[in-house]
Amino acid sequence: MPITTLQHTTDAPWHEQVGELPLTILYKHSPTCELSGMAMHEVKQFSAEHGEVPIFMVDVLSQRSLSNHIEAHLQIRHESPQAIILQHGRPVWNASHRRVNSAGLANALTQLPLPKD
């Protein structure tokens, strides 16, 4: 499953899109940050190895209001790069900066209770 840019409209609010999924990852990315570039490589590697897990990306520069809305809605302080694992729209794990890597994401998944469909 490819990494998808998260969209937010009045007809399809972001939290309704991810809330319908048993498990998903939000990835906040800054295209001008070298650390985000390295994290993106890691997220792509994770996606290649765990294609069954949907990943939605938020470009924190071009989608600043969406990034702020996610921060307020989830009550998780904004960082970038940042990965947030959600089960049925609820945050169950998050990491930022150098902790956003393929091994960390995979390990986090093994620590989670199985999502209920």
Please give the CATH superfamily to which domain 19-111 belongs: Glutaredoxin (3.40.30.10)
Q: What percent of the chain has pLDDT over 90?
A: 82
* pLDDT digit string, tens, across residues 53-83: 999 999 999 999 999 999 999 999 999 999 9
| Domain ranges for the chain | 19-111
Are 42 and 107 in contact by the 8 Å Cβ rule? The answer is: no
Q: Which helix (H) or strand (E) holds 3?
A: strand 3-5
pLDDT band at 116 (very low <50, low <70, confident <90, very high): low
Q: What percent of the chain has pLDDT over 70?
A: 97
CA end-to-end span of the chain: 18
* pLDDT digit string, tens, across residues 23-48: 999 999 999 999 999 999 999 999 99
What's the pTM value of the predicted model, to 2 decimals?
A: 0.93
